[in-house]
Amino acid sequence: MSAVTKSPWVLHYDASSCNGCDIEVLAALTPLYDLERFGIINTGNPKHAEVFLITGSVNEPQITVLRQLYEQMLEPKVVVACGVCACTGGVFRECYNTLGGADVAIPVDVYAPGCAIRPEAIIDAVVQGLGILEEKRVLLAAGKLEPAEMPPLPSAANKTLQGRSVALSWKDAIAQAQESSKEEPSEKEAPAQEEK
């Protein structure tokens, strides 16, 4: 165990979260669950933090932000995805603007599900992350730590996949509207001709 693992500083960022998991992360730092007695401080500066807590799913503008924050953190670092939205996209997985969990943007080390995640689960996840952090620290000291592979940026193909599902629903809606207009041709065509 080293100073880094005995008193890790935490960076908390809310991606497209509903705030439920965020207030539980803050509740884990306040009296009752009190992570501060373990030396864990919530810092706002990525250069001071070892553990990156992400809550919430990821949409397109967030990818740049998450990558910037991740790249500013110094090695060794651990990413903990708190809450099921950060793991997989959660309840909003099928929404048109949600690309998925945090692992769409940056490599994630610990996945902690829950909706909203309980502070006990956050503590458990952070402790597991500390185990991974210690392994990384040892590798770094030996000069053998390789930077984790970043997931690919949503390519045009990926975006079209997202758009395709919405576009398919549009095609259904247009087809349905055309069918219903074929059923009553006389009423609908007359006003349309007048407007033209």
Q: Which residues bind other proteins (CB under 8 A)?
A: 13-24, 26-27, 30-32, 43-45, 56-57, 59-62, 65, 69, 90-92, 94-99, 115-116, 118, 159-160, 162-164, 166-167, 169-171, 173-174, 177
Looking at the Cβ atoms of 2 and 160, the one nearer to other proteins is: 160
Looking at the Cβ atoms of 91 and 150, the one nearer to other proteins is: 91
CA dist 22 and 60 (Å) reads 20
Q: For residue 30, what is the enclosing H or E element?
A: none
Smallest distance, Å, CB 87 to other proteins? 15
Looking at the Cβ atoms of 14 and 135, the one nearer to other proteins is: 14
Half-sphere exposure of 178 (CA within 13 A, CB side): 6
Per the document, the length of the chain is 196
Smallest distance, Å, CB 146 to other proteins? 27
CB 174 within 8 A of CB 180: no
Q: Which whole-number Å values give the CA distances from 94 to 59, 122, 134, in the listed order?
A: 12, 26, 37
CB 52 within 8 A of CB 80: yes
Smallest distance, Å, CB 192 to other proteins? 9
Looking at the Cβ atoms of 2 and 68, the one nearer to other proteins is: 68
Smallest distance, Å, CB 92 to other proteins? 5
